[in-house]
Amino acid sequence: MKPLFILPFDHRSGLTHELFQVAYPPNAAIAKKIVALKGIIFDGFLQAYKTVKDEGDCGILVDEEFGEAILVKAKKLGITHIVSTETSGGSTFGFVHGKGFGRALIKRDATFAKALVNYTVGDKEHNNEKMEKIAELSRFCTEEGIPLMLEPLIHGTPSPVSRAVTAMQDMYRHGIHPAIWKLEMLPTMKDWKKLAPVAKAPMILLGRGAGIKEVDEWVMTAAKSGVVDGFAIGRTIFFSAIEKYTKKSITRAQAVDTIAKNYTHYVKLWNKSLKQT
């Protein structure tokens, strides 16, 4: 498969709080501003897409709440578009559309369905409750032919790779079968190679909003491992630009250009590092 280069901007509660210092869900006026900001991010992606679309499978991950128009446009343009299924801003797991999550995914003709779930090693009671819902989503995706992108944020005391192994094995026991794992960084290429046989599916690296220099190191390590299939880097690419735009310290065009350059940087860095495997 081509490397998967995803620009995720399905953030909802985080953007509401960090950019506007209000509780989620926001009022109509703030919601309108967030919709506009996501339009800037998408325009940045489109600007970069023109030059890097042949270097990998370039796509977006966005929510319906603030990005419905973007999903419609991405579909029309034939761009990989991933739809969030989970509610925002809580430690529990719930579907945005409740029991109607399946109808919503079919309506959006999603390239992938994405679910983010918090998993704590050793917390069997809370993990099992979440796993039941994720397993329901996984079964639906398998039946309907919609690939599932699963993003487990894994907490606990063992090493990062040990935590990931434990979580993945538990999820498979619950009948969860992702098409792609969206994972936090692992410190070494050896760690990624250890995890790959357990994953049984492609893995992509997420950015977690870390600084550019830090994410650069993560990207180079993951790409050079030879077993990671791309990235989903969001806040590192877009947040500073939209924050400055919100504060009126840069123009919209400058924000779009910054996002395009940052996204392009990671596509180029990944492919350069991949050649060094």
The three-state DSSP-derived secondary structure of the chain is CCCEEEEECCCCHHHHHHHHCCCCCCCHHHHHHHHHHHHHHHHHHHHHHHHHCCCCEEEEEECHHHHHHHHHHHHHHCCEEEEECECCCCCCCCECCHHHHHHHHHHHCCCEEEEEEEEECCCHHHHHHHHHHHHHHHHHHHHHCCCEEEEEEEECCCCHHHHHHHHHHHHHHCCCCCCEEEECCCCCHHHHHHHHHHHCCCEEEECCCCCHHHHHHHHHHHHHHCCCCEEECCHHHHHHHHHHHHCCCCCHHHHHHHHHHHHHHHHHHHHHHHCCC
What is the number of structural domains in the chain? Answer: 1
| Backbone CA torsion sign across 182, 117, 178, 63 | negative
**Is pLDDT at 171 greater than 80 in this prediction?**
yes
Strands 180-183 and 80-84: unpaired
Predicted local distance difference test score (pLDDT) of residue 210: 86
Q: Distances from the Cα of 104 to the Cαs of 10, 64, 84, 95, 99, in angstroms?
A: 16, 10, 10, 11, 10
Judge whether 222 and 193 are in contact, CB under 8 Å: no
Q: Distances from the Cα of 213 to the Cαs of 45, 65, 209, 270, in angstroms?
A: 21, 32, 12, 14
| Backbone CA torsion sign across 114, 160, 188, 209 | positive
Predicted local distance difference test score (pLDDT) of residue 275: 86
pLDDT band at 125 (very low <50, low <70, confident <90, very high): very high
Mean pLDDT of 92-116: 93
Phi, psi of 12, deg, nearest 5 = -125, -70
Predicted local distance difference test score (pLDDT) of residue 90: 76
Judge whether 57 and 4 are in contact, CB under 8 Å: yes
Domain CATH code at residue 84: 3.20.20.70
Q: Is 207 left (phi over 0), alpha (psi -120 to 50) or beta?
A: alpha
Predicted local distance difference test score (pLDDT) of residue 1: 79
Predicted local distance difference test score (pLDDT) of residue 56: 97
pLDDT band at 241 (very low <50, low <70, confident <90, very high): very high
Predicted local distance difference test score (pLDDT) of residue 23: 94
Predicted local distance difference test score (pLDDT) of residue 201: 98
**Is pLDDT at 277 greater than 90 in this prediction?**
no
Predicted local distance difference test score (pLDDT) of residue 119: 96
- 76-80 CB contacts, 8 Å cutoff, 24+ apart: 79/49, 80/4, 80/6, 80/111, 80/112
**Is pLDDT at 124 greater than 90 in this prediction?**
yes
Structure token pair of residue 171: 């999820």
Identify the domain containing residue 110 by its residue range: 4-274
